[in-house]
Chains A and B, each alone.
Chain A
Amino acid sequence: MTSQRQDLVLFSNQSVIPSIQDEQHRMFLITSTGSSGPQWLINAFVETHSKGSPQSLNGASGRNTNTNNDNHNVMTTILSLVHGKEHYTSNFQKLQINSNEYNIVDCMTDLVMKQIPKYQGNKLKLLQSIVDQIDNNTRQVIILDQPEFLLSLVAGLTADELFNHFINLIWRKCRLLIINNNVDMFQDGVINDNVNRDFVEFQRFVTMCHYKAAVILNLRPLATGHAKDITGTLKITRGGVNWDDEKSNIHVVENEYLYLTEKDSTRLFYG
């Protein structure tokens, strides 16, 4: 690949996670698919929050990225519905992130066998029990990996309940909430015939996330199919909420990158 490598930049001050000056709670939304997974991007966010910039991307080239050290020593919390603790721990160890700089809440391992039977019939108490596992530190960044799984796993749970009794409670515990949604179901467009309850609730939840997010990071495979030197595209767009922090006077920089993931490293290129 002869193209020039690019640094990941989300904001006009060249930062990935800017220092938040006001009291507002902000949200980033990652939409990913099975063939364009978000793990490298989650790693980049954890690394940025821990070290100030996503140094492992592009093989430690990150020269232009604004290093933001305000968040140093502030915990990043990952709450996952899809992976166990070891998955994230091994990823972060490879990035040489100190284990006291992140906290992993594993919701996946015991959810179906233990937690759901324990709170049989009381879905809101089940959600509250998960929320209670997260510490209250408004300076932390919380990453929610595929919370939409709860819509399928918890009987009768609606998108509104998931937002009001789970997402919003977690959101109050941090300044920045990063949600990853898997949107494989939408890749062929919305099929209006024969839509069932689960699909409508899922569509409602994902659309609500789009309205609440300030930044949308869309990961998808190449439209033309497989390529040896490109894994997929990352598109950064503005969400439904303006990033209107008057003190820092920055804005979201819309951009589209190509990326290549090989073994443990990911490189970004301009598309």
Chain B
Amino acid sequence: MSNIPSELKYATSHEWVRNEGDGTVTVGITEHAQDLLGDMVFVELPDVDDEVSTGDDICVAESVKAASDIYAPVSGKVVEVNEDLEDSPELVNSDAFGDGWLFKIKLEDARELDDLLDAEGYANSIEE
């Protein structure tokens, strides 16, 4: 079973969301997702200041195996992207919940976080 940190929130489309407590969240893809995709070769990140809505495809993770859309798990404004991924997309594989983060969003409505899954809910969602 993959690692699913209990302090994070999750979308069924395999994004994780960390509430930074200052009105922003950090978003990445889960350990399980990177394992399915295999070695990452490019990550196309959104632009800073993009306004995004929940469910928008705003980022593409391209691995040796496939190109996968990554969806905004919450609505708001992109305030930062992980520029290290430009040269080191493999961070998504080696540290999915840490240095492999993708982007940060300033929340439009913090209540949206309640709609996301907790670790147990996500674990159930990926069980066949």
The finding on whether chains A and B are genuine partners in a shared complex, rather than unrelated, reads no
Binding site for A on B (CB under 8 A): none
Binding site for B on A (CB under 8 A): none
